[in-house]
Structure 1
Amino acid sequence: MADTGIPHFCNDLGLTTIEVGSKEFMCIGAKPPFDHPHIFLDLGEDTEKVCPYCSTLYRYNPDLAPGAAKPEACVWHDDGETSAAA
């Protein structure tokens, strides 16, 4: 898949809520090969949205950099790697 610049987030940790620094992103569920269809979520004016596939609640946190997540392990890259802890 070509890198489109849209952040992708995963939830291998089984969290109910993930904080994100982007208002437009993709939820993939768990990391491949256990992922669900990659769903584009747009928060628009909202600060929270639930993924219709995995029921993860994504909450916008303006203190996070665009593309960042809390916890950091929820950031997924097209190469299949999660971000390393800083």
Structure 2
Amino acid sequence: MTFLGFLLLGLIAGVIAKALLPGRQGGGWIATLVLGVVGALLGGWLGSVLFNRPLTEFFDLQTWLLAIAGALIVLLIYGMLTRGSAKTRP
């Protein structure tokens, strides 16, 4: 997979992961997209380590599932880290 293809995969996986998570998450679209790319990296790494299935082709279902799962993990961790840091407005 090319570098641009991997970035596009991560961006879309981040949007899908944010849509799948219940409730309201902090962070804007740029944060979601960056976390999606990081999640795709995590999903590819976990897939290769745990299942011997790295991210291969852009149009492969396994690649998309790993990227979305990684993005979900990263978004959950990000949500736990930033949960108490949001300032309340009157």
Shorter-chain TM band: under 0.3
TM-score between the two structures when normalised by the length of structure 1: 0.24
TM-score, normalising length: structure 2: 0.23
Choose between structure 1 and 2: higher strand proportion.
Answer: 1
Larger Cα Rg: Structure 1 or Structure 2?
Answer: 2
